[in-house]
Chains A and B, each alone.
Chain A
Amino acid sequence: MIVAPAMLSSILALAEGPLDAHAAPELRWAGLALLLPLVSGVLCLLCDWMKIRSKLPAVLTIAALGGAFATILRLQGAVGETPVVVNLFDWISWTWGDGSRFHGISANVDLYIDRLTIFWMLFVTGLGTLIALYGSEYMESDVGKGYTRFFGGVSIFLFAMACLVMGGNLVMLYLGWEGVGLASYLLIGYYFTKPEAVAAAKKAFIVNRVGDLGLALALFLIWQCYGTVEYAALWKAIDGAPASSEWTAQAIPWLLMLGAFGKSAQLPLYVWLPDAMEGPTPVSALIHAATMVTAGVFLIARMFPLFVVNPDAMAAVAWVGGLTALLAATIGMAQYDMKRIWAYSTISQLGYMFLGLGVGTSFGASYHVFTHAFFKALLFLTAGAVMHGFAGQLDIRKLSGLSKVPGFRLVSWLAVLGCFWLAAFPFTAAFFSKDEILVSAFTARDERVHVLGWIGLVVAALTAYYTFRVGFRVFFGPVKYEPGDEHHGHDDHGHDHARDAHGSPAAHGGRGHHGEFHPHAPRWAIRVPLVLIAVGAILAGWPSYRTMLNHDERNWVKTQVKQSSAYQGAPAESHGSHDDHAAAPNVAGADPAHAGHGHLVLGMDAHTAVGRLGSLACIAGILVSLYLHLVNRGAADALRRTLMGSVATRWIVVGAERKWMVDEFYDWVIRLPLRVIANILAAIDDLLLDAGIVNGLGALPAAVGRLFRPLYGGVVQGYAVTMAGGVALVAAWVIWIWLRGAN
């Protein structure tokens, strides 16, 4: 009705392509990257309602995601150094007063396409497509039940992620931000009859909301300071104005940080991610390892100009990243559930990324995001393949020597490949990206963060240890496995399986080829994505190989990052690419003399030192792991017993195994008090406000009425007395008034 003409015109505009007449033809179709996943999501919903019992939803989703990937690939060539804004249609947009600055809000469905966008979208859509393909087989036992729901969720996720990354303003980013939260919620809670899954989904959403709160407030604050929430205008506004020292401007990065820490599972908001492993494994791979959790990194990278002017905020980011990396690594060392270990490693690796951002290397952080996306997806997907094959078994104590089990050889070796990458074995892609971050930490202008370099190295060793703890235990050694308690596949949502990694005694390990259980080997739809992702993981190091071998400084990732807001105002990249110092604008009093090679670590050039130390840490970790988890597995248990035996060391084991009680701490410090307060408030509302005050006041007239009851005693003289008394009183009163008035 009212809106029909307006809506129609905007739809037409959409069909005609972007309104920017100068845009390249590819840009016309940029919207497809959002639209295709959305369409497939809607189609999945329709499939669900039409009760389609085939793999059609998977086909639709894969096609749509592939289409989105292709769109991004096309865009890749079209976007130059200058960002492009494509308006799809108007969303929240109106002005008041004279419509000048601060007299209007404009947050439209715009796409802001620069190199960073493309870079992020490439691996998001690429991995999305592959993982969807993987999921089409992984979830096949749910065809006709939750299959459409799964792919619907994946589609919605990709749509939201595209909004988040490509959105032209912070409100669009917020839309995507919440949208991926919704998708995450729905997919974690995929097995919705399982109380743990539902609880995990809820936890993820709520913890993320805490972060979103920061983001929302930051958004308001940005508008208040700069009068716009659109990137393009915002950069202009920031450029035009000197760094403000008002608290409002200073608070922005801190609030943004809160949002980023929520979404990217950093201290203190990381607790949701391990629980999120209740979701189907492809979801863990896609959302909770490769893409969504990097949104926080993206946010800070995107908003880098607001961060670099605030050294304290930068240091905070670095510290939170470094400490999260350490904490998560220690927990990861003591877990037995394969997916949870990878979850903690994800948190730990995200910590690296934030460390990188905090020390100013948005390139290093982005690079690590990129490499991490591949190898972590690979690790999760192989874990999923194992889980799929062994009826949900994930306990590393109950799986051994899988590389010798028929049908699992490829999976096993790919997993080991992933382990090398995660451990940042020398000359793997992750080695270079991690190197980039640590070097920057050691050489950062802010002296306060140098110690984080050392922490990073320690974490590198720990990472190598726990990574290969899984690798050696599960894929090598004697062939020994027992199935999980899932019936084959997830045929019934209602089954009540407590897949507790700690619960069942390890003595059961000998069930080996147990009666009728046959591992279910993965077929092509699982193998192909695995191989492709492995290839991707290897190729992710290509820019660095070129640098290393050819001394070719043109690093593709760096180019992508450099030509975006993530590089605007970034402090000089301290190391890695020596040619870019001049390119980085010198803001916030960057001291060129201080940057780069000036820094020595252990008397060496930072680059060399970190490379050597990192390699050393990695190899040390692997060797320890080799001894404890392959050569002499009894030693690991013995070590654990020894540590448990001494009061002085017992806390280390217990603490790490029980995740340093952080969940319990939150429970006791936040949830429980809140619950108590809520109950008190409910009681106040019910008893004091309603039953007490409201009902009390309501009963007041009747109560007063009862006071007067004796006056209506029924005897006529009683009434006469009251009446005559009343008359006398009134008469006396009147005379009194009259006397007072007369005199």
Chain B
Amino acid sequence: MVDMSQTAVLLAPEIVLFAASMLVAVLGLSRSTGTRSLVPWVCVAALVASILALDAVWTPERIQGANLLFPMLGKYGKALIALIGIGLVAVSAGSIDRRYEEAVARGRASFDALRVVRGEYYAFLLLSLTGAMLVMSAPDLIWLFLGLELVSLPTYIMVAVARTGRRSMEAAMKYFFLGALATAVTLYGFAMLYGATGTMQLISMRDLLAEQAAGPGLSATALLGTILTVLGLCFKLAAVPMHFYAPDVYEGAPLPVTAFLSFTPKIAGFSALVTVLGTVGWSGHAMVDHDGIRIAYQGLPQPITAVLWMVAVLTMLLGNIGGILQTSLKRTLAYSSIANSGYMLVGVIIGPQGGIGAMYLFMLAYGVMTVATFAVLATLERKGEEVDSFESLSGLRSSHPVLAFLLTVSALSLLGVPPLFGALAKIVLVFVAFEGGQASLAAVLLLNTAIGAVYYLRFVGAAVVNPPNAKSQDVVAVPHWWPKAAAVVAGVGIIVLPAFLSRLVDASATTVDGYIDLGEAVVSDADDRPSTSTTD
């Protein structure tokens, strides 16, 4: 029997964050400006504390009892969430409630606890991060569902409240309704998975599905359940066909929230995806071919591979070709986010033999680049509004050379110029695609890198190459150091992290440590034929 206290200790990072979220919700309502300005600090402290807690509690002995399908996923994944979370807090800090706070400071408005949103905002931010962490330690579908909902629900509110305006409201509406639709799809998928196995426990589910695969083959219910779950999760990843909300929501949401949306739901979604796919396994399935012969092959069950392949390819393509047409910075970054999900899906398709590690490595790179890019943009404003057009970035190098440099670095890294972090992470992905026998995916990935270069170059061109124009002359830096610091740290990270690539690759590879894929045994039981690698 599982020792509940031992398992509960594993949740220390989440507990820390949850507690902190309660604290900041209260602190944010304080009448004292000083207390209110403590809020980001508390968030950062909580995130650091959660990393420390994670390091302390995530020991192999405890995990043994936790009954997790991917026991070590949480260690790397939660640290990653907390780390990037710090950056996301920094991107938000200063811009939430800024005008109201300024008005209060100048005495033009009196403090009104009903009008201030800082407390809620950071509380929801921390809650959402908590949800993402919970997803990573989900032993069963219920937990997984709750974690996912905990990621989503706060973000709906964040979109709406961070900066009120028509556009953010519209974004919140679209995000909420479409999110609910996707959640329903996921939920139905969960139901069918449950129906196919009769259990909510992921490990039991893995065992039962392996048995099925070895016997009569995966049932239609199991397949369809997996597929519906995957498609529902695609909403979180902003992957085809559930990506349509992303450009509108990213564009309409306040900039710090856009940054948040492009990372937190994504990592939660990918973790959930990996967890769900972990039940069917990557390492061996059999199927009957046209001549009625059972052939065994590597990888996910063939229909799932086919769907994921198509989803990945379309996500990359639609993301990149969509990005080319944009003039809004946030909308461009939305498409970039879609495309990057496509790249990461390649890792998921390849599976635990390097693929998932590569995906999480790329997730780290993506998080760092996201923080860097959005932090630079969050630092700038024009006539009190966010900067959201390439024209406004023109000549940034003459007014803010350091910011221009950082934006260049992050854009080039997203583009894939070695030796920047993003490029190397992408190379690792391409490489595992080759290794996993998915050469065609590798080729598509490379091709998409080239297509994406077009719009990433626009950032560079606007910031560094173009001279200032009438629109960009009004662009000033906000009087807050938080986003600047985040930009500098993340930008330096993009340049410096490649030096530690080896360690980072190893670390990200630990995400699949302890995961047992039963497929291999199944295949060898079911068929004596040597397994052949699947293509396409």
Complex A–B touching at CB under 8 A: yes
Residues of A in contact with B (beta carbons under 8 Å apart): 701-702, 704-706, 708-709, 711-712, 714, 716, 718-720, 722-727, 729-731, 733-735, 737-738, 741-743
Decide: B288 and A720 in contact? CB cutoff 8 A.
Answer: no
Residues of B within 8 A of A708 (CB): 318, 321-322
Kindly supply a per-residue 1/0 record for chain B positions 310-323, scoring 1 wherever the CB is within 8 Å of any chain A CB and 0 otherwise: 11000000101110
Decide: A737 and B217 in contact? CB cutoff 8 A.
Answer: no
Residues of B in contact with A (beta carbons under 8 Å apart): 173-174, 177-178, 181-182, 185, 217, 220, 223-224, 227-228, 231, 235, 240-242, 244-245, 247-248, 287-289, 302-304, 306-307, 310-311, 318, 320-322, 324-325, 451, 454
Q: In the bound complex, what is the Cα–Cα distance between A742 and B221 (angstroms)? A: 13
Can you sample 15 A-B contacts with CB below 8 Å? A701-B321, A701-B451, A702-B321, A702-B324, A712-B244, A716-B178, A719-B248, A724-B181, A726-B231, A726-B241, A734-B304, A734-B306, A738-B220, A741-B289, A743-B288
Residues of A within 8 A of B185 (CB): 727
Decide: A712 and B248 in contact? CB cutoff 8 A.
Answer: yes
Tell me the nearest residue of chain B to A701, going by C-beta.
Answer: B321
Decide: B224 and A731 in contact? CB cutoff 8 A.
Answer: yes
Decide: A705 and B178 in contact? CB cutoff 8 A.
Answer: no
Residues of B within 8 A of A702 (CB): 321, 324-325, 454
Decide: A734 and B307 in contact? CB cutoff 8 A.
Answer: yes
Nearest chain A CB to B313 CB, angstrom units = 13
Tell me the nearest residue of chain B to A707, going by C-beta.
Answer: B321
Residues of B within 8 A of A730 (CB): 227, 231, 241, 307, 310-311
Known: A704-B321, A705-B325, A712-B247. A735 touches B454 (CB 8 A): no
Decide: A741 and B287 in contact? CB cutoff 8 A.
Answer: yes
Decide: B302 and A737 in contact? CB cutoff 8 A.
Answer: yes
Q: In the bound complex, what is the Cα–Cα distance between A727 and B223 (angstroms)? A: 14
Residue picked from B173, B304, B318, B324, most chain A C-beta under 10 Å: B324
Residue picked from A702, A722, A741, most chain B C-beta under 10 Å: A741
Tell me the nearest residue of chain B to A743, going by C-beta.
Answer: B288
Nearest chain B CB to A725 CB, angstrom units = 7
Decide: A716 and B174 in contact? CB cutoff 8 A.
Answer: yes
Residue picked from B231, B247, B311, B320, most chain A C-beta under 10 Å: B231
Decide: B321 and A719 in contact? CB cutoff 8 A.
Answer: no
Q: In the bound complex, what is the Cα–Cα distance between A190 and B224 (angstroms)? A: 87
Q: Taking A705-B322, A723-B241 as given, write out 17 further A-B residue pairs in contact, using a Cβ cutoff of 8 Å, ordered by the A residue number.
A: A701-B451, A701-B454, A705-B324, A709-B325, A712-B244, A720-B181, A722-B241, A722-B244, A723-B244, A727-B228, A727-B241, A727-B242, A734-B303, A734-B306, A735-B223, A737-B303, A741-B288
Decide: A738 and B303 in contact? CB cutoff 8 A.
Answer: yes
Tell me the nearest residue of chain B to A721, going by C-beta.
Answer: B244
Known: A705-B321, A726-B240, A733-B307. A738 touches B223 (CB 8 A): yes
Residues of B within 8 A of A738 (CB): 220, 223, 303
Nearest chain B CB to A38 CB, angstrom units = 50
Residues of B within 8 A of A733 (CB): 303, 306-307
Residues of A within 8 A of B240 (CB): 726
Tell me the nearest residue of chain A to B450, going by C-beta.
Answer: A701
Known: A727-B228, A738-B223. A719 touches B174 (CB 8 A): yes
Tell me the nearest residue of chain B to A709, going by C-beta.
Answer: B325
Nearest chain B CB to A39 CB, angstrom units = 53
* B223 CB contact (under 8 Å) in A706, A719, A734: A734
Residues of B within 8 A of A743 (CB): 288
Decide: B302 and A726 in contact? CB cutoff 8 A.
Answer: no
Q: In the bound complex, what is the Cα–Cα distance between A76 and B240 (angstroms)? A: 91
Q: In the bound complex, what is the Cα–Cα distance between A742 and B216 (angstroms)? A: 9
Residues of B within 8 A of A720 (CB): 177-178, 181
Nearest chain B CB to A1 CB, angstrom units = 31
Residues of B within 8 A of A726 (CB): 231, 240-242
* B248 CB contact (under 8 Å) in A704, A714, A734: A714
Q: In the bound complex, what is the Cα–Cα distance between A673 and B125 (angstroms)? A: 74
Decide: B178 and A719 in contact? CB cutoff 8 A.
Answer: yes
Q: In the bound complex, what is the Cα–Cα distance between A727 and B311 (angstroms)? A: 11
Decide: A719 and B245 in contact? CB cutoff 8 A.
Answer: yes
Q: In the bound complex, what is the Cα–Cα distance between A726 and B245 (angstroms)? A: 14
Closest A-B pairs by Cβ, 4 of them: A726-B241, A705-B321, A719-B244, A737-B303
Known: A722-B244, A726-B241. A741 touches B321 (CB 8 A): no
Residues of B within 8 A of A742 (CB): 217, 288
Decide: B174 and A734 in contact? CB cutoff 8 A.
Answer: no
Residues of B within 8 A of A719 (CB): 174, 178, 244-245, 248
Residues of B within 8 A of A729 (CB): 241
Q: In the bound complex, what is the Cα–Cα distance between A709 and B324 (angstroms)? A: 12
Q: In the bound complex, what is the Cα–Cα distance between A734 and B321 (angstroms)? A: 27
Nearest chain A CB to B241 CB, angstrom units = 3
Residues of A within 8 A of B287 (CB): 741
Tell me the nearest residue of chain A to B220, going by C-beta.
Answer: A738
Decide: B231 and A727 in contact? CB cutoff 8 A.
Answer: yes
Decide: B302 and A741 in contact? CB cutoff 8 A.
Answer: yes
Decide: A711 and B220 in contact? CB cutoff 8 A.
Answer: no
Residues of A within 8 A of B242 (CB): 723, 726-727
Q: In the bound complex, what is the Cα–Cα distance between A711 and B240 (angstroms)? A: 12
Nearest chain A CB to B94 CB, angstrom units = 31
Q: In the bound complex, what is the Cα–Cα distance between A507 and B247 (angstroms)? A: 89
Nearest chain B CB to A625 CB, angstrom units = 76
Q: In the bound complex, what is the Cα–Cα distance between A730 and B312 (angstroms)? A: 13
* B244 CB contact (under 8 Å) in A705, A711, A735: A711
Nearest chain A CB to B294 CB, angstrom units = 10
Q: In the bound complex, what is the Cα–Cα distance between A733 and B231 (angstroms)? A: 13
Residues of A within 8 A of B322 (CB): 705, 708, 712
Residues of A within 8 A of B451 (CB): 701
Q: In the bound complex, what is the Cα–Cα distance between A722 and B311 (angstroms)? A: 14
Residues of A within 8 A of B181 (CB): 720, 723-724
Residues of B within 8 A of A701 (CB): 320-321, 324, 451, 454
Residues of A within 8 A of B310 (CB): 730
Q: In the bound complex, what is the Cα–Cα distance between A722 and B181 (angstroms)? A: 12
Residues of A within 8 A of B220 (CB): 735, 738
Residues of A within 8 A of B178 (CB): 716, 719-720, 723
Decide: A723 and B182 in contact? CB cutoff 8 A.
Answer: yes
Q: In the bound complex, what is the Cα–Cα distance between A444 and B320 (angstroms)? A: 81
Q: In the bound complex, what is the Cα–Cα distance between A724 and B244 (angstroms)? A: 11
Q: In the bound complex, what is the Cα–Cα distance between A419 and B61 (angstroms)? A: 116
Q: In the bound complex, what is the Cα–Cα distance between A54 and B227 (angstroms)? A: 95
Q: In the bound complex, what is the Cα–Cα distance between A729 and B235 (angstroms)? A: 16
Decide: B241 and A725 in contact? CB cutoff 8 A.
Answer: yes
Residues of A within 8 A of B454 (CB): 701-702
Residues of B within 8 A of A727 (CB): 185, 228, 231, 241-242
Q: In the bound complex, what is the Cα–Cα distance between A574 and B77 (angstroms)? A: 101
Residues of A within 8 A of B174 (CB): 716, 719
Q: In the bound complex, what is the Cα–Cα distance between A304 and B278 (angstroms)? A: 85
Nearest chain B CB to A699 CB, angstrom units = 9
Residue picked from A704, A706, A716, A722, most chain B C-beta under 10 Å: A716
Residues of A within 8 A of B288 (CB): 741-743
Decide: B244 and A734 in contact? CB cutoff 8 A.
Answer: no
Q: In the bound complex, what is the Cα–Cα distance between A711 and B322 (angstroms)? A: 11
Residues of A within 8 A of B247 (CB): 712
Decide: B321 and A731 in contact? CB cutoff 8 A.
Answer: no
Residues of A within 8 A of B224 (CB): 731, 734-735
Residue picked from A701, A729, A737, most chain B C-beta under 10 Å: A701
* A741 CB contact (under 8 Å) in B231, B303, B324: B303
Decide: A734 and B241 in contact? CB cutoff 8 A.
Answer: no
Q: In the bound complex, what is the Cα–Cα distance between A292 and B453 (angstroms)? A: 59
* B227 CB contact (under 8 Å) in A714, A718, A723, A731: A731
Residues of B within 8 A of A705 (CB): 321-322, 324-325
Tell me the nearest residue of chain B to A741, going by C-beta.
Answer: B287
Residues of A within 8 A of B182 (CB): 723
Tell me the nearest residue of chain B to A725, going by C-beta.
Answer: B241
Residues of A within 8 A of B248 (CB): 712, 714, 719
Q: In the bound complex, what is the Cα–Cα distance between A701 and B304 (angstroms)? A: 28
Tell me the nearest residue of chain A to B181, going by C-beta.
Answer: A720
Decide: A716 and B177 in contact? CB cutoff 8 A.
Answer: yes
